[in-house]
């Protein structure tokens, strides 16, 4: 059993980029989903690029900016000289920016947004505590997502422990990429695990996500061994040209159906909702081709999953 002192729990802080209230797709019942910043994977299709860096960042939506001639407050307030006027437009020099958030605080049009805030466990509990009655009535609870929860293991495990002490159902959404001691510490306080397996080919996995899949595949077997009573739902984001063939999906099914506490296998179709976020962070989106699988083909892949579900 992981050990925590009350003093330790009080002092630990985690960087969170969003708290979604009353969610219904991230576990049973009505839930609050807490999105942690920081992820060891750099999936080329990632729909939450703001979750990759563990530190707060500045979103800049140029379409909302009213321009230097009408404002310019962000330039004035920036002590690092990271915001400049360029061709009558505002530009952020990302290498100079310390992500302090002062520009976002002063921006009248909310073109600048500070993404990521540090919370203590008690601050999170205070923010979501009014939702506890809805969890009880619906059989819901709290889901920790990301980013990657394992990336901020001490905070996440402390938060999960507090939730369990309060009788709240807990769920994590994880890539499984982290040392076993971190996953074990978190799994101890978790009632349900959503576990991503994106591809069984190690080299392809590394090319498209930046990391090998070996640790991911090892960890799900260790979960079966050490936490056989914790149900796992395996999920695969289906990306055209990466893992969208029937053989890709069948290979994953053959692997996970041998793991006794896998209750279900789900496919997640790609959506493009996150593409604009890359430009708000002054990054290029990695693909210029269509990543979404055609609906008929997606249905065929879903039909294949019936052999495990």
pTM metric for this prediction: 0.92
Question: Residue 110 domain-assigned?
Answer: yes
165 and 95 part of one domain: no
Residue that terminates a domain, selected from 114, 130, 159 = 114
CATH value at residue 88 = 3.30.70.20
- Percent of the chain residues topping a pLDDT of 70: 95
pLDDT of residue 1: 59
Per-residue pLDDT tens for 43-83? 989 999 999 999 999 999 999 999 888 899 999 999 999 99
Q: What average pLDDT score do residues 81-105 get?
A: 92
Beta-carbon count within 10 A of 1 CB: 7
Beta-carbon count within 10 A of 53 CB: 18
Q: What average pLDDT score do residues 183-197 get?
A: 98
269 and 222 part of one domain: yes
110 and 219 part of one domain: no
193 pLDDT higher than 90 = yes
Tokens of 143: 């889901």
pLDDT of residue 4: 52
Q: How far apart are CA 193 and CA 173, in angstroms?
A: 6
Question: Residue 1 domain-assigned?
Answer: no
- Of 34-48, 138-152, 273-287, give the lowest mean pLDDT range: 273-287
Query: How sure is the predictor about 249, in pLDDT bands with cuts at 50, 70 and 90?
Result: very high
pLDDT of residue 10: 53
CATH value at residue 162 = 3.20.20.70
pLDDT of residue 290: 82
Query: How sure is the predictor about 274, in pLDDT bands with cuts at 50, 70 and 90?
Result: confident
pLDDT of residue 7: 46
147 pLDDT higher than 80 = yes
Class of residue 248 by CB neighbours under 10 A (exposed 0-12, middle 13-18, buried 19+): buried
pLDDT of residue 211: 97
- Of 8-12, 37-41, 233-237, give the lowest mean pLDDT range: 8-12
288 pLDDT higher than 90 = no
157 and 231 part of one domain: yes
Question: Residue 130 domain-assigned?
Answer: yes
Helix (H, G, I), strand (E, B) or coil at 126: helix
Question: Residue 201 domain-assigned?
Answer: yes
Would you say 307 and 258 are in contact if contact means Cβ atoms under 8 Å apart?
no
Comparison of pLDDT for 67 and 95, the residue scoring more:
95
Q: What average pLDDT score do residues 276-301 get?
A: 87
40 and 179 part of one domain: yes
DSSP per residue over 161-209, as a string?
Answer: HHHHHTT-EEEEEE---S-HHHHHHHHTT-SEEEEE---S-HHHHHHHH
Range of the domain at 245: 6-53+117-307
93 and 144 part of one domain: no
Beta-carbon count within 10 A of 189 CB: 21
Q: What average pLDDT score do residues 204-228 get?
A: 97
93 and 169 part of one domain: no
307 pLDDT higher than 60 = yes
The closest of 213, 174, 217, 216 to 192, measured between CA atoms, is 174
What is the number of domains present in the chain? 2
User: Phi and psi dihedrals of 253, rounded to 5?
Assistant: -60, -45
Question: Residue 98 domain-assigned?
Answer: yes
46 and 86 part of one domain: no
Question: Residue 299 domain-assigned?
Answer: yes
108 and 87 part of one domain: yes
177 and 79 part of one domain: no
24 pLDDT higher than 70 = yes
Residue that terminates a domain, selected from 96, 114, 132 = 114
pLDDT of residue 308: 75
Question: Residue 43 domain-assigned?
Answer: yes
DSSP per residue over 33-60, as a string?
Answer: EEEE---S---TT-S-GGGTSSS-EEEE
pLDDT of residue 88: 76
122 and 151 part of one domain: yes
Per-residue pLDDT tens for 151-185? 999 999 999 999 999 999 999 999 999 999 999 99
Would you say 249 and 243 are in contact if contact means Cβ atoms under 8 Å apart?
yes
89 and 216 part of one domain: no
Question: Residue 11 domain-assigned?
Answer: yes
Residue that terminates a domain, selected from 75, 91, 114 = 114
């Amino acid at each position: 059993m992981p050990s925590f002192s009350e003093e330790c729990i009080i002092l630990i802080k985690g960087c969170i980029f969003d708290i979604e209230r009353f969610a219904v797709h991230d576990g049973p019942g009505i839930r609050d989903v807490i999105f942690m910043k920081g992820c060891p994977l750099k999936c080329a299709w990632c729909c939450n690029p703001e979750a990759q860096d563990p530190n707060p960042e500045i979103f800049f939506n140029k379409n909302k900016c009213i321009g230097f001639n009408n404002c310019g407050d962000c330039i004035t307030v920036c002590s690092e000289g990271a915001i400049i006027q360029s061709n009558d437009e505002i530009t952020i020099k990302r290498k100079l920016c310390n992500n302090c958030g002062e520009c976002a605080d002063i921006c009248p049009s909310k073109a600048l947004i500070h993404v990521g805030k540090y919370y203590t466990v008690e601050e999170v509990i205070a923010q979501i505590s009014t939702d506890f009655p809805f969890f009880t009535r619906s059989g819901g609870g709290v889901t920790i997502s990301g980013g990657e929860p394992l990336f901020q293991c001490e905070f996440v495990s402390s938060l999960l422990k507090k939730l369990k002490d309060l009788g709240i159902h807990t769920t994590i959404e994880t890539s499984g990429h982290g040392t076993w001691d971190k996953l074990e510490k978190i799994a101890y306080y978790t009632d349900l695990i959503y576990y991503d397996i994106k591809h069984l080919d190690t080299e392809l996995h590394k090319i498209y996500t930046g990391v090998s899949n070996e640790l991911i595949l090892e960890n799900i077997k260790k979960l079966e061994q050490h936490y056989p009573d914790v149900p796992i739902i395996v999920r695969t984001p289906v990306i055209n040209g990466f893992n969208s063939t029937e053989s890709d999906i069948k290979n994953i099914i053959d692997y996970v159906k041998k793991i006794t506490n896998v209750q279900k296998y789900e496919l997640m179709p790609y959506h493009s909702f996150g593409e604009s976020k890359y430009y708000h962070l002054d990054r290029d989106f990695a693909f210029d081709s269509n990543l979404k699988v055609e609906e008929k083909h997606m249905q065929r892949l879903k039909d294949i999953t019936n052999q495990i579900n």
